[in-house]
Amino acid sequence: MYDEHYTRLNQYRSLWILVFFDLPTETRKERKIASIFRKKLLDDGFSMFQFSIYMRFCASRENAEVHTKRIKNNLPEHGKIGVMQITDKQFGMMELFYGKKLVETDKPSQQLELF
């Protein structure tokens, strides 16, 4: 019997990691540091949600912890960075607007996990 509660990727087990940051960009060196931080997020599979908000889908809490640890290892010396994990179910309840027009949220594609 198929029970959605026990499927490998269900909306309560899978997570989204959201990274919020406000980094200084006054000098050329600060802009370079901010750019390197963004590039490391992209290299780790994050996508830009808004200019200083990046997100990544994770199939499990363990997978989310791996990516959160990578973020912590790459924190710049200055600036403010926040990391938040929410379930796929919570992410799916988000309402997105472009101007006054409500738009559908993108569903994550099925990801393969290689061991």
pLDDT tens per residue, range 10-36: 677 899 999 999 999 999 999 999 999
pLDDT band at 103 (very low <50, low <70, confident <90, very high): confident
Which residues are documented as binding site for Mg(2+)?
A: 22
Distance from C-alpha of 113 to C-alpha of 61, rounded to nearest angstrom: 14
Instruction: Judge contact between 59 and 9, C-beta under 8 A.
Output: yes
Phi, psi of 59 (to 5 degrees): -75, -20
Predicted confidence (pLDDT) per residue in 35-45, tens digit: 999 999 999 99
Positions at the binding site:
22
**How far apart (Å, rounded) are the C-alpha atoms in residues 80 and 111?**
31
The b/e string for 40-60 (b: 16+ C-beta within 10 A; e otherwise) is ebeebebeeeeebebbbbbbe
